[in-house]
Amino acid sequence: MKNDKIRVGIIGANTTNWASKSHIPALKLIPEFELTAVGTTKLSSAKEAAEKFGIKYAFDNAFDLVSCPDVDLVVIAVKVPHHYKLVKAATEAGKMIYCEWPLGNGTKEAEDLTEMAEAKGLRTFTGLQALSLPETLYLKKVIADGLIGDVLSSGIIGSGGMWADIRSEENLYLIDPANGATMLEVPFAHTLAAYLHIIGKYKTISATFARRRKEVTLLTTGEKVPQLSNDQVVVSGILEGGAVSNIHYRSGMSAGTNFLWEINGTKGDILITGDLGHYQLTPVNIQYAASGNKLQQMEIPTEFLAAGIQTPGQPVRGLYFAYKAVLADIRNNTRHVPDFKDGVAMHKLLDNIRISADEGKTIAL
């Protein structure tokens, strides 16, 4: 497969959902990938998607898609509770797998899926796409190069957007922790993955959760429904290099700040801002100031950006750079994109955050 196209089948893409607005446009921009199959729970919607996006095969049975000989890489882009059975099916079919984050509905599922894939020697990718963003790679480099000296502290305040009201019945599953897709697992974890990649891992953590909104409004009907998940998440800690860290996520949107990340060092400061706390899919602005100076715009150098094409906007942008990194890993037999083992590590970190919040104690990692 060194020079051949990588044939992709997507489970969970119709003509209007997340996969159709992000995964498919991103893959279409990379000629080394060929979209060959799409699968949904209804053959009619699968055929509509196949026709709209020029895809050869349409399936209403995921097991038929993963068994298709013209599929090399299976993309799982469905709700979290369905990840396990679909990833397992793709594993049994011996395919490479890209599964959106969270990998499983909890750590046990993620561990089982990882064990199955490793037993077959399969290439796996966990959809923590923020790690492949040019902003993430550039920030990691300049901080490692000492632009702001030693990192003293770092903090984020972010708005989850959801979890204050619900746009449609399809999104109701987000407010029930049993489904594994709360504010902690989605915007917080996506952002945390990049945060730790850039400035280093935790040495200790101390977490506080609160469920301040007991019910939310279903916007399509005006109905009030129970809000069962924590809508305030605060994680403080010390990083391995000694820096003090604090991250606070809250549900809904603020009239003021919705994403603000400061990294303070002995020689200067970096400020990252955006309109939503989903760093993985929200455009951000980066500024820098040497100590004693005013903030200035920090542009991403061209070598970190896409060559030969106009960089797509979000939410396509995040998946575009993720799939470019997946392509490089497959072609070069490297491992820069998070795999299933990395997904398990993130699940375990979230477990420790939950324990800290539940038991009111600081945890050494």
Task: Domain ranges for the chain, please list them.
Answer: 6-127+319-338, 131-300+347-359
CATH number for region 6-127+319-338: 3.40.50.720
For residue 249, list its beta bridge partners: 158, 233
Q: What is the pTM of this model?
A: 0.96
DSSP 8-state assignment for residue 343: H
Chain centroid, CA 286 distance in Å:
20
Report H helices in the chain.
Answer: 18-21, 23-28, 43-53, 62-67, 83-92, 107-119, 134-144, 189-199, 316-332, 340-359
Q: Amino acid identity, residue 21?
A: K
- The tens place of each residue's pLDDT in the chain, 365 residues long, gives 555 899 999 999 999 999 999 999 999 999 999 999 999 999 999 999 999 999 999 999 999 999 999 999 999 999 999 999 999 999 999 999 999 999 999 999 999 999 999 999 999 999 999 999 999 999 999 999 999 999 999 999 999 998 998 878 888 999 999 999 999 999 999 999 999 999 999 999 999 999 999 999 999 899 999 999 999 999 999 999 999 999 999 999 999 999 999 999 999 999 999 999 999 999 999 999 999 999 999 999 999 997 777 788 899 999 999 999 999 999 999 999 999 999 999 999 999 999 999 999 999 99
Strands, E, within 179-229: which ranges?
202-210, 215-218, 223-226
Q: Top-level CATH class of 131-300+347-359?
A: alpha beta
